[in-house]
Chains A and B, each alone.
Chain A
Amino acid sequence: MTASLTDRYVAATVRHIPDKQRREIERELRAAIADDIDARAAHGQAPPDAEYAALRDLGDPALLAARYTRRAMALIGPDTYPAYVHTLRVSCWSVLPIVYVVLVLVLRAHGEDAWTSIFRPVGTTLTVAMYLAVAVTGLFAIADRRRADHPDTAGLAEPWTPDRLAMADDPPPARWSDLIAEIVLVALLIAALFVQRVLSPVTTADGTAVPIINPALWAFWVPYFIAVIVLALAVKVVALRQPAWSLATSVAGTALTLALAVPLAWLFWQAQVLNHALSHGTGALPAAGSWIAWLAILVLALITIASLLGTWRSRNRNRGGDIDAGSTYAKAER
């Protein structure tokens, strides 16, 4: 005997339903469909037509199953969506320009002509953009599922208050979504450090990849930088858990930023960061104090200053909050 339309419909529905509910839903659904067919037949429809019409009205079995199990019908729900967009934007704006600029510099140092140096990295940057989008989307989809499964632990997103409105000149208060963005960035950065050892835009004549970062740094400096970055992230987590600004976390943040920036600047100055093999040991790349070193140190200094300003400005805002509120009330009374 071949399976009837109803059999196929019920099978398609319960396939998506957990075992312990499956039998009962199947029984109930069969009875309901049979009742519907009988009612339509009683109105004079031929049984096959009645079955067809009853199933058509019940609609897509996948949708029905989703309603039975109350499964989320969106990859990233409305609660998680703003943080998702924020993270995606932050990571794209920070990662992609860096990737592009580094690739341009590396190709140029390797002796490619200007056109190749400018255009070849576009493709790689687009590929990185796609990986980035997939990684961020995947992480948030998982986070969204977890939130839906444990609604009581959804404390990651604190309720919105007017305090979160951005000041005209102040950085907005740190939020979990900012931190998630940073965690994703740090994870990607560490992954990139490892990946560049085996995947590189530059290869030797026999096809082996030339790492972008100087391999000698792996003995001490790369593990050191990774440790400092992870520590800095930990400090930010601690800072976020404290409602008010604290001297300890700001000092720790500053110390870690300097512990990162100063040795890195020194290494750039000594031309020890980029692999000399990229330019076959010639040109500006292996020379200490070359234009590459100057450029790198300038960018590093700007990032460091911005980061330190961010750390210490949030102190001023938190401190100034009470005074501002007081003066506003005073004005209102006048």
Chain B
Amino acid sequence: MPHSIVSYVNESELLDAHRQELRRGSVVLASLLALRTPGYGYGLLEALDRAGVPVAANTLYPLLRRLESQGLLTSEWDTSETRPRKFYRTSQDGIRLARALLREWQAIDKALTRLDMEGPQR
């Protein structure tokens, strides 16, 4: 018997699950690209949402800290406003990595498009 962790009730749930899987890796790239101009947690969450790359808050906040510990982001506390916020900015390493990831992303896009074109039913 095949094992499935979740049994999907209908097709849209199945689509959601696969879409989530497909988008998961893009969050790092989107964050690195967006944070070339400094931003803070909630601001980035909204910016990514507006840009069409919605992320869950409980995924994004820990991710920012991880990218910082990997040296891909730098951070600074801004205490000039009433609410102190931690601002992140993509580091030089981060920018280099983002470029490499972006090339990868575009290569996947091209490859998938080509596969689609070669498909039997057009």
Interface residues of A (CB under 8 A from B): 24-25, 27-29, 31-32, 34-36, 39, 57-59, 63-64, 67-68, 70
In chain B between 81 and 117, which residues have their CB closer than 8 angstroms to a CB of chain A?
83-86
Residues of B within 8 Å of A31, CB to CB, are: 40-42, 83-86
Q: Is B46 located at the chain interface by the 8 A CB criterion? A: yes
Residues of A within 8 Å of B58, CB to CB, are: 58-59, 63-64, 67
Specify the main secondary structure of chain B where it touches its partner: helix
Are B83 and A35 closer than 8 Å at their CB atoms? yes
Residues of B within 8 Å of A27, CB to CB, are: 84, 86
Pick from A32, A39, A63, A67: contact of B41, CB below 8 A. Answer: A32
Interface residues of B (CB under 8 A from A): 40-43, 45-46, 56-59, 61-62, 65-66, 83-86
Are A29 and B61 closer than 8 Å at their CB atoms? yes
Are A35 and B41 closer than 8 Å at their CB atoms? yes
Residues of B within 8 Å of A63, CB to CB, are: 58
A29, A36, A64, A67 — most chain B CB neighbours (10 Å): A67
Residues of A within 8 Å of B45, CB to CB, are: 32
Pick from A32, A39, A58, A70: contact of B66, CB below 8 A. Answer: A70
Residues of B within 8 Å of A28, CB to CB, are: 41, 61, 85-86
Residues of A within 8 Å of B59, CB to CB, are: 67
Residues of A within 8 Å of B86, CB to CB, are: 24, 27-28, 31
How long is the Cα–Cα vector from A262 to B82 in the complex, in angstroms?
Answer: 83
Residue of B nearest to A57 (CB): B57
Residues of A within 8 Å of B65, CB to CB, are: 25, 68
Give the shortest distance, in Å, between B67 (CB) and chain A (any CB): 12
Residues of A within 8 Å of B42, CB to CB, are: 31-32, 35-36, 39
